[in-house]
């Protein structure tokens, strides 16, 4: 079994760079010892995605001063982990300070290339972005590709009712690649043209009581494999 990575709850908005380095170092060393090269990182200060009672409209928004201070520290943190052989990859996420396409663009523009990007189709679609356009702009920074599909009817209802993220997930807004409304074939054509090298992860936050995990992950894997075969993307075999 290979370890793709592990999520780290960032706190740079509230903490100093030195405190964040102290917190992340044991996590970084554990992942390094387990043979992975990427730390998935997301700022958690004031986020609402884990609060089932909080609508997404209550998510935190940074002002210009916060953006400048935060991205400077984030670049320095990425430089630190890279000096230890580990790439920091930022995960844009619903309910957090980097949610919409404009915020992803701003993050990439205001940080150094030491910081990578986790590209997540499900969160992009939920946030109103076109994943193909985002990938076109930032594929040189993409370290991981998280593939989850979206059920448009449920998404529209969630947006109309200003649902919390967790309630939306429990309602079935996400599913595995090829089972929703997004055209993954077009994305994988671009992935192949960009000569991407890294992990492509099957994702679908779903209620296991409604969506049998093995059934859905098998469906997602088979669909991703077919996209890779179609566009000549080599999947490394592991024993």
Q: What is the pLDDT of residue 238?
A: 74
Does residue 238 sit within a domain?
Answer: no
Q: What is the pLDDT of residue 239?
A: 65
Based on its alpha-carbon atoms, the radius of gyration of the chain, rounded to whole angstroms, reads 18
Q: Using CA atoms, how far apart are residues 44 and 62, in angstroms rounded to an integer?
A: 13
Q: What is the pLDDT of residues 181-200, one digit of tens each?
A: 999 999 999 999 999 999 99
Does residue 119 sit within a domain?
Answer: yes
Does residue 1 sit within a domain?
Answer: no
Does residue 226 sit within a domain?
Answer: yes
Q: What is the pLDDT of residue 98?
A: 98
CA atoms within 13 A on the CB side of 82: 14
Question: Which of 207, 203, 208, 209 lies closest to 180 in space, CA to CA?
Answer: 203
Q: Give me the chain's average pLDDT, please.
A: 96
Does residue 239 sit within a domain?
Answer: no
Is residue 214 over pLDDT 80?
yes
Q: What is the pLDDT of residues 4-56, one digit of tens each?
A: 999 999 999 999 999 999 999 999 999 999 999 999 999 999 999 999 999 99
Question: Which of 171, 163, 126, 137 lies closest to 117 in space, CA to CA?
Answer: 137
Torsion of CA 218, 224, 226, 230, to 10 degrees: 180
Range of the domain at 69: 7-230
Lowest-confidence region among 33-37, 95-99, 126-130, 233-237 = 233-237
Q: Using CA atoms, how far apart are residues 58 and 46, in angstroms rounded to an integer?
A: 9
| Domains identified in the chain, total number | 1
Is residue 204 over pLDDT 90?
no
DSSP secondary structure letter of residue 157: H
Neighbouring CB atoms inside 10 A of 212's CB total 11
Q: Using CA atoms, how far apart are residues 98 and 63, in angstroms rounded to an integer?
A: 12
Q: What is the pLDDT of residues 54-84, one digit of tens each?
A: 999 999 999 999 999 999 999 999 999 999 9
DSSP secondary structure letter of residue 54: S
> Which CATH number does the domain housing residue 46 bear?
3.20.20.150
Helix (H) or strand (E) holding 190: helix 184-193
Torsion of CA 21, 98, 123, 20, to 10 degrees: 10
Q: Which residue has the tokens 């370890």?
A: 3
Q: What is the pLDDT of residue 237?
A: 81
Q: Using CA atoms, how far apart are residues 43 and 8, in angstroms rounded to an integer?
A: 9
Q: Using CA atoms, how far apart are residues 116 and 193, in angstroms rounded to an integer?
A: 19
Is residue 97 over pLDDT 80?
yes
Does residue 198 sit within a domain?
Answer: yes
Question: Which of 101, 8, 96, 6 lies closest to 51 in space, CA to CA?
Answer: 96
Q: Is the pTM of this model over 0.75?
A: yes
Q: Using CA atoms, how far apart are residues 133 and 237, in angstroms rounded to an integer?
A: 30
Is residue 1 over pLDDT 90?
no
Q: Using CA atoms, how far apart are residues 60 and 167, in angstroms rounded to an integer?
A: 19
């Amino acid at each position: 079994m290979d370890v793709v990575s592990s999520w780290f709850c960032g706190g740079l908005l509230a903490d100093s760079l030195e405190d964040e380095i102290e917190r992340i170092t044991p996590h970084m060393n554990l992942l390094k010892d387990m043979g992975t090269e990427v730390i998935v990182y997301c700022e958690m200060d004031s986020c609402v995605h884990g609060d089932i009672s909080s609508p997404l409209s209550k998510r935190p928004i940074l002002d210009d001063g916060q953006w400048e201070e935060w991205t400077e520290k984030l670049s320095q943190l990425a430089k630190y982990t890279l000096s230890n052989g580990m790439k920091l990859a930022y995960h844009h996420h619903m309910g957090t300070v980097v949610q919409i396409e404009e915020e992803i663009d701003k993050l990439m523009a205001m940080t150094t290339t030491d910081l990578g990007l986790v590209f997540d189709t499900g969160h992009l679609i939920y946030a109103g972005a076109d994943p193909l356009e985002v990938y076109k702009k930032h594929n040189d920074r993409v370290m991981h590709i998280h593939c989850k599909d979206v059920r448009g009817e449920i998404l529209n209802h969630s947006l109309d009712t200003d649902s919390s993220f967790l309630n939306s997930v429990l309602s079935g807004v996400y599913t595995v690649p090829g089972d929703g409304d997004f055209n993954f074939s077009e994305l994988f054509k671009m992935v192949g043209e960009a000569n991407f090298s890294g992990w492509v992860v099957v994702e679908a936050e779903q209620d296991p009581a409604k969506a049998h995990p093995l059934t859905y992950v098998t469906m997602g894997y088979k669909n991703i494999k077919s996209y890779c075969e179609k566009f000549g993307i080599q999947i490394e075999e592991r024993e």
